[in-house]
Amino acid sequence: MSHFRFVFVVFCFTAVLIVTVYMRNVNNRLFYQLCQCNAERDQLKQDLGARQLRLESLINPASLSPRIPHTENED
């Protein structure tokens, strides 16, 4: 009976170590993917901001004002 307990304890200890290593690998992979997504999001935000600035420089409000008909409020 003692031999069976020893084998069982060694088997459980080995299983726990394997599961621990697997969970650490999964955790590292998910952390890498999270960092990658955050970097991509930040890059897209910068690109969007640059495009918005470029669009605002192309559309000058001073050049649009003569084209837009002025409507006066009749109160």
Q: What percent of the chain has pLDDT over 70?
A: 79
The predicted-structure confidence for 17-48, as pLDDT tens digits, reads as follows: 999 999 999 999 999 999 999 999 999 999 99
Tokens coding 18: 């394997």
Determine the average pLDDT of the residues in 49-68.
72
Q: What is the pLDDT of residue 14?
A: 97
- Give how far Cα 58 sits from Cα of 34, 61, 62, 67, Å: 36, 9, 11, 15
- Say what the pLDDT of residue 61 is: 63
